[in-house]
Amino acid sequence: MIDLVGFDGDDTLWRSQEFYDRAQEAFEAILGRYVDLASRGLRDALLATERGNIALFGYGAKGMTLSMIESAIELTDGRIEARDIHRIVRLGKEVLAHPVELLPGIREAVSAVAANHRVVLITKGDLFHQEYKVARSGLADIFHRIEIVSEKDPAAYTRLFAEFGVAPERFAMVGNSLKSDIAPVVELGGFGVYMPYHSTWAHELIADFTLGERVIEVAGAEGIPEAIARMHSAGE
């Protein structure tokens, strides 16, 4: 039996990663005027800077922007011009202001699940940006609760189960990230509906996770209600 269903936000309810990918391409174009990108390992350097900064800045576009500025200064040995730093700041602002575009069929899928289960939106990242997206998504009314957390790890999900008074084996999480949405929930004894997105942020990749019997992979939102129904009846 499934009592509570969690939905991820970015790249599960609405499009997100392509806006970050676009900013990354524009960032590389700016830096390409100063350094030979291939030889300097720009992508790896930025990822390393971001990884180090997440603990301080948290997830989201503001942290990305600061990491880009820091990487730009380091990779150009301080030669980056102020006008190009300004361009990088604008890239971050464009990510923050992108329109909220729902994935096909997701409104119908969330509504169908909500007809039979309590549903909660569980998203991580910058609080202000996530609130902005929730408000513009038009989905806020369907969810019983909206949880914006700083990290989606076993500790965060355990807290959530306690708040909702639900046992892990009566919880299913729907999301596009194996690392944040599926693996920690399965580890705790819950279920996962994995809906891959065409682009995945490098920090969300995990190497050593295989979908077990507690995870159903769906190709799109229309598969979500049936996956939850199967999980719901499997335990009866």
Binding site for Mg ion (CB under 5 A): 8, 10-11, 176-177
| Residue 177: closest CA among 5, 63, 7 | 7
**Which of 8/50 has CB closer to Mg ion?**
8
Question: Which tokens is 79 given?
Answer: 């030669």
Tell me how far, at minimum, the Cβ of 205 lies from Mg ion, in Å.
13
Tell me how far, at minimum, the Cβ of 209 lies from Mg ion, in Å.
15
Burial 145-161 (b: 16+ CB within 10 A, else e): ebbbbeebeeebbeebb
| Residue 52, number of CB atoms within 10 A of its CB | 12
Cα distance between residue 61 and residue 34, in whole Å? 24
**Which of 69/174 has CB closer to Mg ion?**
174
Tell me how far, at minimum, the Cβ of 141 lies from Mg ion, in Å.
21
Contact 221, 103 (CB under 8 A): yes
Tell me how far, at minimum, the Cβ of 105 lies from Mg ion, in Å.
17
* C-beta nearest to Mg ion: residue: 10
**Which of 71/130 has CB closer to Mg ion?**
130
**Which of 10/84 has CB closer to Mg ion?**
10
Cα distance between residue 131 and residue 136, in whole Å? 9
